[in-house]
């Protein structure tokens, strides 16, 4: 049995990379969705009742952004954790192959 097989089976490494890629893609999609919502947001103050419809639309956009924001933040944390796991795995693999 070679040193690479002792570290982690190939199927598990492939699964690790698939999970990492999935987390990154989901996080990127959440950030793109949030950005598309934010581009329609106007930082205006509506003083007149004639603009109640625009004010309601802006409030709806802000509500949607506020719903997506925690998920995007969690996705960023998950991406960082998964990236850390990948780095630690390869550092461990290098250590085992060098000092084995």
Decide if 11 contacts 35 (C-beta within 8 A): no
pLDDT at 42 over 70: no
Decide if 68 contacts 34 (C-beta within 8 A): yes
d(CA 37, CA 41): 7
d(CA 34, CA 65): 6
Q: What would the pLDDT profile of 48-75 be if each residue is shown by its tens digit?
A: 777 778 878 888 888 999 999 999 999 9
> Can you give the pTM of this predicted structure?
0.77
pLDDT at 10: 77
pLDDT at 82: 96
Please, where are the H alpha helices in 1-100?
3-7, 10-38, 52-99
């Amino acid at each position: 049995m070679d040193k690479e097989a002792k570290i982690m089976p190939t199927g598990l490494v492939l699964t690790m990379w698939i999970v990492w890629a999935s987390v990154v893609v989901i996080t990127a999609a959440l950030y793109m969705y949030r950005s598309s919502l934010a581009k329609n947001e106007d930082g205006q103050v509506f003083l007149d009742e004639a603009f109640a419809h625009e004010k309601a639309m802006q409030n709806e956009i802000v509500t949607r952004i506020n719903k997506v924001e925690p998920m995007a933040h969690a996705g960023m944390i998950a991406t960082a954790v998964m990236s850390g796991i990948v780095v630690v795995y390869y550092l461990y693999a290098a250590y085992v192959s060098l000092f084995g």
